[in-house]
Structure 1
Amino acid sequence: MPSAAQIPETILETSTRPMGTKRKIICFSDFDGTIFMQDTGHILFNAFGCGSDRREVLDQQIKSGERSFKDVSEEMWGSLDVPFEDGFEALKSGLVMDQDFKVFHDFCLNNSIPFNVISAGLKPILRRVLDHFIGEESSSSIEIVANEATIDEEGHTWKPQWRHQNELGHDKALSINEYKDQAKLESEDGTIPMIIFIGDGVSDLPAAREADVLFARRGLALEEYCQKNQIKYTPYDTFADIQREIIKIAKIDDKKTKGQGLPSNFNPRANLWRRASSKTAVPVFAAMTPRDEKMFVWPETFTEEKTLSAQSKVVTV
């Protein structure tokens, strides 16, 4: 498949032009393994920190529940001893971007679809990577919801500044719910944007379960988990697949307002929130929701508090 640089300009204009639908949409996307095929942290740790062998041991400690993601991540980032610029040079040569991401991002811009990165990584690294691979102007339109970091000039200290004070450090579900709360306050007519999440790993589940539509990279852990637990999702190989599906979904969802039903791949619980979250509907929705329920989850799978807690621990850098 040709890259964006090899596609004639006339075709690019056609592929990124406005859809012609009224549906408001917002995209949240993972970064490592989703926009880029590799993991930024892994490249740095392997080359300048704890090394691949120790990293694999630490990853296993997270998966087994022996240690929290936050605890292990602090050890991984703390193992680095490299100036930021030198580390970035390794990322430039070691990262490969999804071949269709740039065109997809242009499509989002032309359709007024906010595109947000939501990551457990470090924001300064992710911003610098995006600035390099898609240009500073395009990068500036992408909000990055990730952890800040303190990195000294010599690179002897790399310390995450966590977004949330829990064992995840950055709870992606909480970040999406922060957006939902803001959308609820701003909505006057009940038109809450359709929330799309794009990911690749099981660590994306906390955010994915909050979305109306989930895209899981084909053949990787998130798709495998969705299949095993009968979670509604749409597979993708590149962002071109996501773009085609969003156009279809937006048109079907437009018809929903005329009483013609919802796309079959909608997360029913998230859609309940979306339909009920206008200012006028909040009292009704509150009456339908248990008082102690902190977040909305996929009803088919995350039905027990114990199960939800266990899945929250399965994360990667």
Structure 2
Amino acid sequence: MALQNPPAIVFSDFDGTITLQDSNDYLTDNLGMGQKQREFIGNEILEGRTNFRDGFREEIESVKTPFNQCVETLLANIKLDPGFKEFFTYCQEQGIPIIVVSSGMKPIISALITKLIGPEAVEKIDILSNDVRLGGDDGANWELLYKDPESPFGHDKAKSIKEYLEKHGYADLDQDSEGLVSPKLFYAGDGVSDLSAAKETDLLFAKHGKDLIKYCVRENIPYTEFNDFADILNKLKKIMGGEPIKDFVENP
């Protein structure tokens, strides 16, 4: 869903950001290698000893359950951030597109959006993500398909953001572009899969207590902290009301 000259665009991670739990972590912890080994791999990624693409593939390949059963398990257990529905409604009313930029898998994200937010939301939220190749009955044989297999991230979120802006004509807008003004760009995320997108927008919302904040502090990347989408909505309303973005940056 692209709108003509929107006042802002919100790019957001999905798992652990729009949802309370990370669906990929849930599958790995409960149907795959287990939490301890997954957390070991996550730390290896954060410390730069392996890349996200290879570590995430190892986690997902440890899950041997048929894909349809994986989706059913997630639909029964994954919960929505309590502030997201109000945030979604506000963005719809203000003409602000929400773009999911995820290292998860599109069929899972679509199924969760349909259940947790509503069938109409799938038509209104663009999903830029990895995908799945299915084989056998009920997806008995399935594999992760990376959007950018050549990238160490598997899905290069920075690239996806840039391509989205270029595709919809937002990349080159300025104050003199026939009265059009570049929309304010926001990104919300929580973890290591968001590292490539951390520098691509005007303001980064980084989730309290999660790995993305550790990275931002280490790399001196400006961010503002949030606990849930009620926090993001509160700050977004103030910015759209005219308060300068720089007033919200916690490590300028």
Length-normalised TM-score, structure 2: 0.84
Letter aligned with residue 184 of structure 2: M
* Alpha-carbon contact 2:32-2:59 (below 8 Å) kept: yes
Structure 1 alignment gaps of length 5 or more: 1-21, 254-261, 268-297, 301-317
How do residues 62-73 of structure 1 correspond to structure 2 at under 5 angstroms? 62-73=45-56
Which of 159, 162, 180 is equivalent to 1:177?
A: 162
Could you say if the C-alpha distance between residues 59 and 155 of structure 1 is closer, same or farther in structure 2, counting changes exceeding 3 Å?
farther
Shift of 1:185: 6.5
Shift of 1:263: 3.1
Letter aligned with residue 146 of structure 2: W
Letter aligned with residue 177 of structure 1: K
Q: Does 1:25 align with 2:17?
A: no
* Alpha-carbon contact 1:81-1:155 (below 8 Å) kept: no
Paired residue total: 240
Match for residue 197 of structure 2?
A: 207
Q: Which runs of 4+ in 1 moved over 6 A?
A: none
* Rounded Cα–Cα distance in structure 2 between residues aligned with 1:228 and 1:62: 14
* Rounded Cα–Cα distance in structure 1 between residues aligned with 2:212 and 2:39: 19
Match for residue 222 of structure 2?
A: 232
Equivalent position SS for 2:53: helix
Shift of 1:43: 1.1
How do residues 133-282 of structure 1 correspond to structure 2 at under 5 angstroms? 133-152=116-135, 153-164=137-148, 165-182=150-167, 183-184=169-170, 187=173, 188-189=177-178, 191-227=181-217, 230-252=220-242, 262-265=244-247
Q: What whole-Å deviation, never above 9, does each CA across 1:252-303 have from its counterpart, x for those lacking one? A: 26xxxxxxxx432478xxxxxxxxxxxxxxxxxxxxxxxxxxxxxx9x8xxx
How do residues 1-16 of structure 1 correspond to structure 2 at under 5 angstroms? none
Could you say if the C-alpha distance between residues 157 and 214 of structure 1 is closer, same or farther in structure 2, counting changes exceeding 3 Å?
same
Equivalent position SS for 2:241: helix
Could you say if the C-alpha distance between residues 114 and 149 of structure 1 is closer, same or farther in structure 2, counting changes exceeding 3 Å?
same
Bigger proportion of residues as strand: 2
* Alpha-carbon contact 1:213-1:265 (below 8 Å) kept: no
State the Cα RMSD in Å: 2.6
Length-normalised TM-score, structure 1: 0.68
Structure 2 alignment gaps of length 5 or more: none
* Rounded Cα–Cα distance in structure 2 between residues aligned with 1:59 and 1:230: 21
* Rounded Cα–Cα distance in structure 2 between residues aligned with 1:213 and 1:93: 33
Equivalent position SS for 1:175: helix
* Alpha-carbon contact 1:78-1:157 (below 8 Å) kept: no
Letter aligned with residue 33 of structure 1: G
Q: What percent of counterpart residues are identical?
A: 35
Could you say if the C-alpha distance between residues 185 and 216 of structure 1 is closer, same or farther in structure 2, counting changes exceeding 3 Å?
closer
